[in-house]
Amino acid sequence: MSRLEGQVALITGSSSGLGRATALAMAKEGANVVVNYIGRQEAADEVVDKIQAMGRGAMAYRADVSVEEQVQAMFAAAIEEFGALDTLVNNAGLQRDANLIDMSLADWNKVIDVNLTGQFLCAREALRHFMAREERPEVSKARGKIICMSSVHEAIPWAGHVNYAASKAGVMMMMKSIAQEVGPMNIRVNSIAPGAIRTPINTSAWETPEAYSALMELIPQRRIGEPEDVGNVAVWLASDESDYVHGASIFVGGGMMLYPGFADGG
C-alpha cells in the first residue's frame, strides 16, 4: 500500500521548487494535495494536472500565507473540498538579500512576515482543524502532522541575509515549541532544514560553473541537492514510518552542517 494513501496534504508555495516536488512526491504515495500559490496560476494548475493524472485529488488555491484572512479562507476551502486535512507543509518562503547597512525595514518585514508569521498562521489553522475533527486512524497514526520548511540557516549564520537567517532560526524555535505543546494531542511537528537545493530561490548559487564550484566547497557530498531529495523526506515525515519522530529538524544538505572548512584546516 502507498505510504500516504487517502491522506490530504496542504503545501504552501507549491507551484515551484521544493513545494512542487513535495506535492508530486506526496501524490505519488497516495495523497490528495492542496497546491497553494501566490504567483502564476498556470504553474499551480500544471502541478494540479500532474497530480490528477496520477489519480489523486488536487486543487490550486491562491493565498498569501502572511495574511490571516487569506490563510483562514484557504483552510476552509481545502476542508470543504476534501473533508479533512492530515498534513500541513509550511513551505512558502523567500529571500530579500542585502547587507545590514542597506537593508530596508520593508525587506526585513517581508521576510519575517512570509517565512515566520506565515508559518505561524498556517500552523495555527491546521492545529484548529486537527483538534476540531475526529482522529483518522484509517489513514494516519497521528491526529495531524505539521512539517516546517526551515533551512541550514536556522543554525548557520549568513552575512548579507540577516532577515532570512533570523526568520529560519525563528522557525526552528517555533516548530520545537509547538511540538512540545501539541505532542500530547498526538500531533507531530517537525522541520526539514535543507542545504543548497536547485530551485529558483538560489539560481545565482549554481547557474554558472564558477558559482557551482564555489558552492561545492560548502558541501561534503560535492553535489547540489535536487528538489526530490527534500520531497522524499517530506513524504517520510508525513507517513507512519516516522511516527516516533517529533520536534526534530532534519538536515537535508549533503553535509553542509559539518563545518566543511575544517576538512583540511584548523
Catalytically active residues, by annotation: 164
Told to check if 38 binds ligand NAI by CB under 6 A, we report: yes
Contacts with ligand BGC, 201-240, as mask; x by CB under 6 A: xx--x-----------------------------------
Cell numbers placing 169: 532560526
Q: Strand pairing partners for 60?
A: 35
Part of the chain binding ligand BGC (CB under 6 A), chosen from 140-148, 178-186, 194-202, 235-243 = 194-202
Taking the C-alpha atoms of residue 71 and residue 29, their distance in angstroms, rounded to an integer, is 26
- Name the one range near ligand BGC by CB under 6 A: 5-13, 63-71, 128-136, 150-158: 150-158
Judged by DSSP in three states, 34 sits in strand
Angle between helices 162-182 and 118-132 (to 10 degrees): 20
Question: Binders of ligand BGC among 84-103, rule CB under 6 A?
Answer: 95
- 266: helix, strand or coil: coil
Q: Is 112 in the site for ligand BGC (CB under 6 A)?
A: no
Angstrom distance (rounded) from CA 113 to CA 69: 14
Does residue 234 interact with ligand NAI by CB under 6 A? no
Give me 161's grid cell: 541575509
Q: Which amino acid is at 184?
A: P
DSSP states of 216-258: HTT-TT-S-B-HHHHHHHHHHHHSGGGTT--S-EEEESTTTTS
For 43-90, the DSSP string reads HHHHHHHHHHHTT--EEEEE--TT-HHHHHHHHHHHHHHHS---EEEE
Which of 13, 30, 195, 227 touches ligand BGC (CB under 6 A)? Answer: 195
Residue 139 Cβ vs ligand NAI, minimum distance, rounded to whole Å: 26
Give the range of 67-75, 77-85, 147-155, 227-235 binding ligand BGC by CB under 6 A.
Answer: 147-155
Q: Which is nearer to ligand BGC, 73 or 201 (CB)?
A: 201
Q: Does 163 bind ligand NAI (CB under 6 A)?
A: no
Q: Which is nearer to ligand BGC, 184 or 200 (CB)?
A: 200
Are residues 246 and 183 in contact, defined by beta-carbon separation less than 8 angstroms? Answer: yes
Least distance to ligand NAI from the beta carbon of 50, Å? 15
User: DSSP letter at 32?
Assistant: E
Find out whether 20 and 47 touch, Cβ atoms under 8 Å: yes
Q: Tell the smallest beta-carbon distance from residue 224 to ligand NAI (Å).
A: 8
Least Å distance between CB 251 and ligand NAI? Answer: 10
**Interface residue list for ligand NAI (CB under 6 A):** 12-13, 15-19, 36, 38-39, 64-66, 91-94, 114, 118, 149, 151, 194, 196-197, 199-202
**Interface residue list for ligand BGC (CB under 6 A):** 95, 151-153, 195-196, 201-202, 205
